[in-house]
Amino acid sequence: MLLNKINKIIGFILLLLFLVGCGKKETKTVNYNDKRAIKNLAAQLIDKEIQFIASGNFSSERTKSIVAGTEVSGKNRWGISFTLIEKVDDEFKEVYNTGLLEGSFDKCIVDKMKLSSFKGEMIYYNSRDFYLGTGGGDVFLYIINFSEKEIYYAHLIVQKSAGVLLYLSENIEDPMMRKFFIRYFKKDYSTLRIIKSDLL
Domain boundaries, the chain: 27-195
Residue 40 in this model has a pLDDT that exceeds 70: yes
* C-alpha 10: how far from chain center: 52
CB 122 within 8 A of CB 145: yes
- Percent of the chain's residues with pLDDT above 90: 66
Are the beta carbons of 179 and 126 closer than 8 angstroms? no
Residue of 176 and 26 predicted with greater confidence: 176
H helix intervals, the chain? 2-23, 35-45, 175-186
Q: What is the pLDDT of residues 96-117, one digit of tens each?
A: 999 999 999 999 999 999 988 8
Q: Which of 14-18, 64-68, 110-114, 127-131 has the lowest mean pLDDT?
A: 14-18
| Mean pLDDT for the stretch of residues 21-49 | 81
Contact by Cβ (8 Å): 169, 182: no
